[in-house]
Structure 1
Amino acid sequence: MAKYGIIRMQKFHKDAILGIQKHNQREGENSKNKDIDSTRTMLNYDFVNEDKIKYHEEIKKMTATRVKRKIRNDAVLVAEFFVSASPEYMHAMSPDEQRKYFEASLDHIAGKYGQQNILYAVVHNDEATPHMHVGFVPITDDRRLAAKEFFHGKTKIRRIQDDFHNYMNKRGYDIERGEPSELQHKSVHEFKKQEREKELKHLQQLVAHKEKELQQMDNLVDLKAAPPVEIRSERRIEELCTQPIEVEAAKSVMGSKVKVEEADFHELMSLTKELQQTLAAQT
């Protein structure tokens, strides 16, 4: 089972703040975003805020009392972490276990970047894989708004993954270090699309293997209809026709081996079509 931890960081300037507020708090975008299952939006929650907040207003309150200099128009107002884990590992956990995973992740981020700087910590359960968005206003101890003090240079960026992996392992989560994809400057949207493409590829591989196995079963059924050459062969055919099929799939984010019941075949086909439609809409 793939079980790697995921943490990504993205910086946001003034013009992007309202957009991330609407996305994180699901303000009027449910019908537009095909990644969101609106029937599950009620399962989302924020560790920091009980109710929806105005991001710009809260940022102004934080900086007005704690930042000594005038804020530049091009300043980074929010640095946001995207936290999750490989889909198979995440879905293997119960909702309560997932919550504890996100709580531990937030403890790490708050401890490293300052609890007083955390603006929100929103968990989304209404998308394909549960994940959390943690936003913090990068205010330094000497009262400056300076994201570069936290993230300047490749070494500091790389340590985001290293420190997260080490902390979560100490908290008892047996996860592998994720790829240092922050260095590629991919957006969270691109990352989600990439993960969905991996899931689609896996489903396509699974369907191909299932079709092959079903064809083999059809051939066995034809043989069963003919006069048996040997009693033991007929019994073996009966066993193959009634037992579930083991399908070896190429290693992917979903794992390396999957057992599929014959009745699930059509469901796999349906899932594959849905993922193809989603990816087509995002392109």
Structure 2
Amino acid sequence: MIAASRHGGGVVLLRTVPLVFMALITLVVFRSVWLNPNFQWTVVGQYLFSPIILRGLGMTCLLTVLTMVAGIVIGVLLAFSQISGVLALSAPARAYVWVFRGTPQLVQLLFWYNLAALYPQYSLGIPFLAPHLLHGSVNDLITPMSAAVLGLGLNEGAYMTEIVRSGLASVGRGQMEAARALGLGPFRIMRRIIMPQAMPVILPPTGNQVAGMLKATSLVSVIALTDLLYAAQSVYSRNYQTIPLLVVACIWYLTATTVVSCMQRALETRVGRHKR
């Protein structure tokens, strides 16, 4: 009994000491940040709910949704192309992933924004009948918003392709063969058998991609799209309160990514419950 009691006390001590140590470090860091006058918390509070900051936050959220929808659609299509076994489909899909995963997001963003330097004019139509049905300047098409969606969405599509492909590959081929033997069509096999088993593999990295995209949208500030970071920059370029405005931006990025993380966990729990 005495030995067991000593062993239990040692375990409690091993668990308590790191917790107390981390609590002390957290308290010291929090106190240092909160009492540091250079953070100018009154200015942070003044601009935290400023209309220009909230509009920038709205643009960041909208851009995240648009680019993730584009990325998921591209990812699903290219993932199925890769596993199709048809060289005419799988080879272009692999080339797409190679190009867009191998070049930085910022470079792609700037490339699309300056597309008019390569193709000043566009012309679409029906050959021989109406070859110039739609035509005009590429500058009119490539606005900061469209360049942002193209640059971030196409890049995200490459990563989502690999995520979806890995999810589909996690399901044994024998299950598809068994479903075919039962007379099920390809669409029903995918909807009823493959995707329900692949989703637990696909969801966690997809949630991480959404959180990453929320932060990656800050890159669009270089093309003068009024996202959260650009809104903060536009304010501190006038009042020179750089640090407080960057703190405001960080608070909203942290809030948005926390919401995304909570939604991701809830969705993973629900999918896992249905799987059991």
TM-score between the two structures when normalised by the length of structure 1: 0.26
Structure of larger gyration radius: 2
The structure carrying a bigger helix percent of its residues is 2
TM-score between the two structures when normalised by the length of structure 2: 0.26
The structure carrying a bigger strand percent of its residues is 1
